Amino acid sequence: MEPWVDSIVQTMFCNIGKTVTIFTTSGGLSGSGFTGVLLSVDCNVVRLLCDVGAAPACPLGSSCCGFGTGTGFDGGFGGGFGGGFGGGFDNNFVGNPLGAVAIIPTRAIAAFTHNAI
């Protein structure tokens, strides 16, 4: 392994949990870089959380159905708050409900950027 790989891996390791951008030697859209939260780093691959998935649709179990007729989240607290937060929470997630993780081989990294502070 080339000496610069050890150096960049050490720098990336110090930035785990922070938002970074990694540019790769590939072409097309992937050559424009990957931005996300750095999850893990080793000598072979880097993992970035690029898109956060949806929260659980009903973390409270069956109580998400409402607290009675015309109340609860589905009806928006009985029509309060201007119709109940725009009609209530319908648990419709716009985007990728599973999230996205980019796994980048260290040998394909052209540049690694992070905040100075």
Half-sphere exposure of 6 (CA within 13 A, CB side): 3
The better pLDDT of the pair 47, 10 is held by 47
State how far the Cα of 36 lies from the Cα of 66, in Å rounded to an integer.
Answer: 36
13 Ramachandran zone, left/alpha/beta (phi>0; psi -120 to 50): alpha
1-53+98-117 — its CATH code?
Answer: 2.30.30.100
The structural domains of the chain, with segments of one domain joined by +, span 1-53+98-117, 61-95
Q: What is the pTM of this model?
A: 0.61
- The per-residue pLDDT for 4 is 57
The better pLDDT of the pair 31, 25 is held by 25
